[in-house]
Amino acid sequence: MSNVVNLRMARKQKSRKEREATAEQNRALHSIPKKQRDLKKAQSKLEQARLNGHEIISPESDS
């Protein structure tokens, strides 16, 4: 004897699995992990600090 399957629930489960698979692919393609975003932000902040540290400030002349 076989089990009774609710077709509506089976369709919904199948749809959920397909949407989750699509969402997983999109996350892999389009997202940037938080660690990478934070690292890039820290690196750009460090570069900006180094650049500002090498800035030459000339004395203002009163002429």
Q: Which residue has the tokens 């004395």?
A: 59
Domain that holds residue 13: 8-53
In a domain, 63, yes or no: no
CA end-to-end span of the chain: 103
CA distances from 11 to 14, 19, 20, 24, 35 (A): 5, 12, 14, 20, 38
Q: Does the reported pTM lie above 0.85?
A: no
What gap in Å lies between CA 58 and CA 63, rounded to an integer? 14
Residue 32 falls inside a structural domain = yes
How many domains does the chain fold into? 1
pLDDT tens string 3-42: 888 999 999 999 999 999 999 998 888 888 889 989 999 9
In the numeric block, the tokens 């990478």 are attached to: 36
